[in-house]
Structure 1
Amino acid sequence: MPSDVHRVRVRRPLFSSLMSFPASCFVLTLLADIVYARSYNMTWETASVWLLTIGLLAAFVIVLVGLFQAFVQGLWPSMVSRIGYAIVLILSIFNAFVHSRDGYTSVVPTGLTLSVIAVMLLLAIELLERFATPRQELVA
């Protein structure tokens, strides 16, 4: 292989890859909340609660391990996004309490609002990670 040809290896941190599962659950929670708000079908409210719970269980473990790892290993640049994920986790815990109510108020308007805020924070964190941290390293 000629010396002027380089390969580019794309790195994606394990923490971000693992957080994609709970983030997907939170996005699907928002979609289920929207469908419930428009249809009043309790099946969507139940689906929303299950998605939120599964996302919370996964995120709780991943965020705690990620914060511990970043603190112990001194990964300060990634600490900002990990704290952002912790904020989403706390917000989603409040959202779970709102979703535990009975009837229409279990989702509309507070639960739906909290779901929108959580997804917007997830998008902001993803943009921060994408544009603020280097993802590629040049391999000779």
Structure 2
Amino acid sequence: MKVRVKWIEGTAMLGESSSGHALVMDGPPEAGGRNLGPRPMEMLLLGMGGCTQFDVMLILRKARQAVTDCVVELSAERSISDPKVFTKIHAHFIISGRDLSEARVARAVELSATKYCSASIMLGATATITHDYELREVAS
């Protein structure tokens, strides 16, 4: 995997992925940014959210769960001194569907956290990562 990050101006930069996608990142206004895009550390957290949601949804599809929606809300704390690494991350899954098996959802979240989500496992080297979920039943 390769990516390219090109400086635009100030603290703005253009990230380009090897899969052909691009996005603007920027620093906060207090550091000279113009708030043109997410901060690089926000991108790391978004990447973890996408990675773990991908795993959970794949596992639940294979388990033939009738999922109609899946949202992952992540909250994180960072060290107050440099390097300001993540020290705590919590992922809260909100999974909606019909006749969902709580055991299968719990297992999917656990498998993502402990076996499949490369981003979670990598960030777990500096952060304590916790996960929970809630199920929302959707009428048939």
TM-score, normalized by length of structure 1? 0.28
Structure exhibiting the larger radius of gyration computed from Cα positions: 1
- 1 or 2, which has the higher helix percentage? 1
TM-score, normalized by length of structure 2? 0.28
